[in-house]
Amino acid sequence: ARAKTSTDGVVYYSALIDNELQELAARERELKEAVYNGELKIFLQPICNSYSEVVGAEALLRWVKKDGSVVPPMDFIRVIEENGMIITVGEEVLRQVCEFILDNDTSIGFIDVNVSPVQLRYPNMADRFIDIISAHKIDPRKIVIEFTENILIEMNQIVKDNIEKLLNFGCQLCIDDFGTGYSSLSYLTLLPLNKIKIDRSFVSRIPEDSRSVKLLEAIFNIARSFNLDAIPEGVENEKQLEVLSMIGYRLFQDYYFGKPMPVEDFAKILRERSKFTKS
């Protein structure tokens, strides 16, 4: 294609950029419509204890198109972070989480909600979140705000205020993808965290890689010292589960225990499990 425009590279180049911008604009329009039409929905992935009992869940965003196809967050989160739509979308995620808790209050311990750095840097973020949780009259301790370590590198005053307000209101805090960011561990002494999630990349290397086993032991000990729940992500087989259990891990979130699923399916699992344990 480049050969066709060999006489005028500049025109070709700007046409290319133009094309990309048009594609991005089309994508943004599509996403705006998707939000408007309620096509952005949370899926819930179970978090289980060693007895495979569901104790909580993580809310994971999906774009469920009219034709039934499901678009993963990696394909659109970046776009909505860059154009600011993540603020509205993030509030919608929390609303859907609150509605789910309202409908299934007694059978669900907590739901983890991912928040992007863009949200935490938005001055009204915590106030808006508190309004939404209050409006649903649910226990704020059931809402776990989950973010990655990288936000803590540039902890400006807005981020600090948002985190403090959410904490004072009663929400819990979780560090996602623990150990993969560029942050120092000093935040452990500064933030009253409730839990950490250990990135899949560590878990996937066990049991073969003995250094990863040692690292998972060290992380477990840190978590225990700081009184944090530690949740490994991405357990894929019995052997991995065995090694993690031997280290001391008691909570798990992965395909082995259950994939992220539509809220109706998750509610059904909760109902069936509670029926089972009662009888």
129 and 166 Cβ atoms separated by less than 8 Å? yes
User: CA 71 to CA 112: how far, in whole Å?
Assistant: 20
Beta strands 40-49 and 251-252: pairing type?
Answer: antiparallel
Per CB under 6 A, 74 contacts ligand C2E:
yes
The enclosing H or E element of 199 equals: none
Per CB under 6 A, 143 contacts ligand C2E:
no
H helices within the chain, ranges in order? 9-36, 77-82, 86-103, 117-120, 125-135, 157-169, 187-190, 200-203, 210-225, 238-247, 263-278
CB atoms inside a 10 Å sphere around CB 143: 26
Give the three-class secondary structure for 233.
strand
Per CB under 5 A, 229 contacts Mg ion:
no
Kindly identify the residues of this chain, within the stretch 105-134, that bind ligand C2E according to CB under 6 A.
Answer: 114-116
Residue span binding Mg ion (CB under 5 A) among the ranges 6-14, 145-153, 244-252, 254-262: 145-153
Min dist CB 216 to ligand C2E, Å, is 15
Q: Which does 234 bind (CB under 5 to 8 A by kind): Mg ion, ligand C2E, none?
A: ligand C2E
Task: Select the residue interacting with ligand C2E from 73, 140, 181, 262 (CB under 6 A).
Answer: 73
Encoded one letter per residue, x for contact with Mg ion by CB under 5 A and - for no contact, window 5-34 reads ------------------------------
Task: Select the residue interacting with ligand C2E from 176, 228, 251, 263 (CB under 6 A).
Answer: 176
Q: Which residues pair with 229 in a beta bridge?
A: 195
Point out which residues bind ligand C2E (CB under 6 A).
45, 60-61, 72-74, 77, 90, 93, 114-116, 176-177, 200, 233-234, 236, 254-255, 260
